[in-house]
């Protein structure tokens, strides 16, 4: 056996972004998928600099893989997802999602699908933000005071 090649390591990443969420289901799935070490994090999705994710990315080497239960457990924006996946691939490692088996950086089809669906997720997120802002604009606050809008 060639000692210069590191053995394959499968790392899991479990992330929840709100206080009410738990990591247990993700941890069970990742361990069942053969992840030998799972990095876990409870931090807002608005933060791109998640400490455990950064540690995991620094740990990856050639032949390793980073596994998540779903793509949205890796990143909340297309830009962040591409930056993270680029770091994984640059390390010589592989990314895969358990819920989306086509999301595998080992082949060009998987990379294309990640790009397309990441873009769709961005569109959906923008639509939700727009609808929420629209609703907040027309909904009276609970204090009974109506919002006033000034048009310039």
Is residue 29 within 8 A of residue 98, CB to CB? The reply is: yes
Of 17, 44, 97, 143, the active-site residue reads 17
97 is known as an active-site residue = no
Tell me the CA distances in angstroms from 44 to 10, 14, 89, 132, one per residue in order.
25, 13, 25, 19
Is residue 92 within 8 A of residue 65, CB to CB? The reply is: no
Catalytically annotated residues:
17
């Amino acid at each position: 056996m060639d000692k210069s090649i590191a053995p394959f390591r499968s790392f899991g990443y479990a992330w929840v972004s709100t206080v009410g969420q738990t990591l247990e289901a993700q941890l069970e799935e990742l361990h069942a998928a053969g992840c030998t070490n799972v990095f876990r994090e409870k931090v807002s999705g608005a933060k791109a600099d998640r400490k455990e994710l950064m540690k995991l990315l620094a740990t990856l080497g050639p032949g390793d893989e980073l596994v998540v239960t779903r793509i949205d457990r890796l990143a909340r924006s297309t830009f962040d997802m591409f930056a993270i996946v680029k770091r994984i691939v640059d390390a010589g490692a592989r990314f895969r999602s358990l819920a989306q088996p086509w999301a595998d950086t080992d082949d060009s089809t998987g990379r294309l699908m990640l790009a397309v669906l990441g873009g769709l997720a961005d569109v959906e997120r923008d639509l939700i933000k727009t609808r929420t802002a629209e609703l907040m604009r027309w909904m009276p606050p609970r204090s009974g005071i109506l919002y006033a809008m000034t048009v310039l």
